[in-house]
Amino acid sequence: MGNSDGKVVFITGAAGGLGTALAHNFAEEGFHLFLSDKNEVRLREVMDELAGKGCVVAGEPMDLADASAAREIGERAFRAYGRIDVLINNAGVSQGKSFWDLTEKDWDLVLDVNVKALFFVLQATAKHMLQRGGSIVNIASVAGRLPRPTLMHYAASKAAVISITQSAALALAGNNIRVNAVAPGMMDTEMLQTLRSDFQKASAGSAAGQPDVSIVPLGRIARPQEIASAVLYLASDASAYVTGQTLNVCGGISMN
């Protein structure tokens, strides 16, 4: 997808299922990588695996629940290579709870990472794209487009990601910085297994909002690599005239 050799991609949440797939996809395209995740052990495993394949990779662990940490990791990513061409805002948390059981602490947990940290990473990184332009891809979710009775705070956070994507695209278009989002549906990762477990605890026998493959028109859940391919498209020059968009990659669960 164009000449990516020597370009730098900064990926948050790089130790999870999707984050790992993203790192491998961008490495295969010739990008230099800066990876971050709060799971230091798993992050190091991913980095060592990529380095063993000859990839150029750097990174640091960081818990983005704190806004100052979100800003700091953007600065560290820039210092590692002296440039950032692509940001993939992938770090996120999910939690299933019933409407009646949601607490202020639950809301803070999800919004601090999925919304505030995403914005401050974006802000800190975009500053270093002002001269040469760049591409930013935020990871949203079809939950941000559809009602989710046992994921209300998570769904609200992903709706915010879609809104931030559109607003940032307008704010940064004059600097040739494109901002888009990908909205995955169900994906074969540990997060999906956690959500299924949470659903069983929160649903009290109701099927509403259940994360089940029966709701997917294509009849299966996604592989992380399939989501990563869509992200790579939006990050690359192949989508040079695309900004402010949210691409559903969900097997047809949402079609708007």
Residues assigned a catalytic role = 154
Going through 13-53 in order, the beta strands assigned E by DSSP cover 32-37
Alpha-carbon distances, residue 152 vs 191, 218, 238 (angstroms) = 16, 25, 35
Beta-sheet strands, E only, within the chain:
8-12, 32-37, 57-61, 86-89, 134-139, 177-184, 246-249
Dist CA 67 CA 77 (whole Å): 16
Burial tier of 19 (Cβ tally within 10 Å: 0-12, 13-18, 19+): buried
Of 197, 195, 201, 204, nearest to 153 by C-alpha is 195
226: Cβ–Cβ under 8 A, 6 or more apart, which residues? 249
Tell me how far CA of residue 36 lies from CA of 11, 39, 157, 216, 223, in angstroms.
Answer: 6, 9, 21, 31, 22
Those residues with Cβ within 8 angstroms of residue 35's Cβ, 6 or more apart along the chain or in another chain: 11, 14, 15, 19, 23, 43, 46, 47, 57, 58, 59
On the CB side of 196, CA atoms within 13 Å amount to 11
Encoded amino acid at 87, one letter: L
